[in-house]
Amino acid sequence: MKTRHGNVSNINNDILGKITFKDKMIDRSDYIKVGHNLLKTSIGYAATITDNFDIKGNRPYCILDGIDDIKEGDIILLNKNGGIIFLYEKNSCSNVIMSTELCNHRCIMCAQPPVNKENDKTDFNLKLISLFDKNTCEVGISGGEPTMIGDKLFVLIKHIKKNIPRAAISILSNGVKFAEKDYAIKLAMCHHHDLQIDIPLFSDIAEKHNKVVGAETFYKTVQGIYNLAMLKQKIGIRVVIHKHTFKRLPQLANFIYHNFPFVSQVAFMQMETVGMAMKNINDLWIDPYEYNDELRQAVISLDERGIKTYIYNSQLCILPNELRKFAKQSISDWKDIYLDACNGCLLKGECAGFFASNKNYHSSHIQKVDEL
């Protein structure tokens, strides 16, 4: 999530609020007023953010060096140390609700390592959802593992359905909990018009998948996929590529086709080098250019069989021409960068770019494309 930092006064607890530059006549308490010289007009707002370094007063405020990147309708969490966390950006299609940081897997390349215990986030997330713009087109629910909050997951889904009726929902889950048929039925009973469960699968061989996720759950994940399919839920498969997974990409593609031909899509993903991936980098890292042959076989195999297939987080210059049409701009705006080598590239506007964390771990074959 995008963050900023400023100097705060009169803030003792975290403040959740929706950004406004306008003068609100009612319901000010849910808003954080942003602008210049706001001391006299800040009464009733949850807090004030300004770049006026002469501001004084006893109401909660934060002084920032520049407010141009703060937009009307964004939702932030402002803490007593001056941290500003952007939990929702109105103009972004990558807004995600962190349902929990608990997880029943310990994936060796997890970008968000789980915690062992936490305070329940549901009430906070319900308030957060209520502040979303009513025309939001898509919301992600992630973790951790979202099913670790049990039936409260369905409370979140129904709250999204009520408050943001147009929004599609994407839930990133390992699928294990959906092996319990009753739990899968509860998801279906939410009757959401556009909800997809995206489930990681890392090998066609149980032992190899289990080694990646750090748990003996391959067959539970498979059963979870079948239960969801039986209930006519949309399912996506995600495959993160690294040393442990790249060699059998073609066999995994065949496994998916023969066992899960009903899936809505399959996404092959370049690894983000943060969290556990960075801790295990020597065991995991492979230049993405080096697995192009396996990736090509897997993608073409699924595409020719009518399964919608994507490549996420990959740079177009390292992909064979025939694979470029499958690549998507999948990296969130706040952590997406380009390298100096990308300057002048004809494909830069279409390319996913790089995770900021991957600045030191990227293909050695990156180069600008100067003719098509």
Q: Give the tens place of pLDDT for each residue, 134-184.
A: 999 999 999 999 999 999 999 999 999 999 999 999 999 999 999 999 999
Domains contained in the chain, number: 2
Q: Which of 62, 87, 112 is a domain's end point? A: 87
| Amino acid letter for position 351 | C
Domain range for 70 is 3-87
Query: 265-316, pLDDT tens digit by residue?
Result: 999 999 999 999 999 999 999 999 999 999 999 999 999 999 999 999 999 9
Query: How distant is the alpha carbon of residue 125 from its chain centre?
Result: 16
63 and 146 part of one domain? no
Beta strands in the chain (DSSP E): 3-5, 7-9, 15-20, 31-35, 47-50, 61-63, 75-78, 83-88, 96-98, 138-142, 168-172, 195-200, 234-241, 265-270, 309-312, 327-328, 336-337, 354-355
Size of the chain, expressed as the number of residues it contains: 372
Q: What is the pLDDT of residue 338?
A: 92
How far, in Å, CA of 93 to CA of 98, rounded?
15
CATH number at residue 17: 3.50.30.10
Residues 121 and 254 in one domain: yes
pLDDT at 332 over 70: yes
Is the domain of 45 the same as that of 155?
no
Side by side, which strands form the sheet with 75-78? 3-5, 83-88, 75-78, 15-20, 31-35, 47-50, 61-63, 7-9
What would the pLDDT profile of 97-128 be if each residue is shown by its tens digit? 999 999 999 999 999 999 999 999 999 999 99
Query: Mean pLDDT of all residues in the chain?
Result: 94
Residues 120, 49 share a domain? no
Q: Domain end: 61, 87, 113, which one?
A: 87
End residue of a domain, out of 87, 117, 133: 87
DSSP 139: E
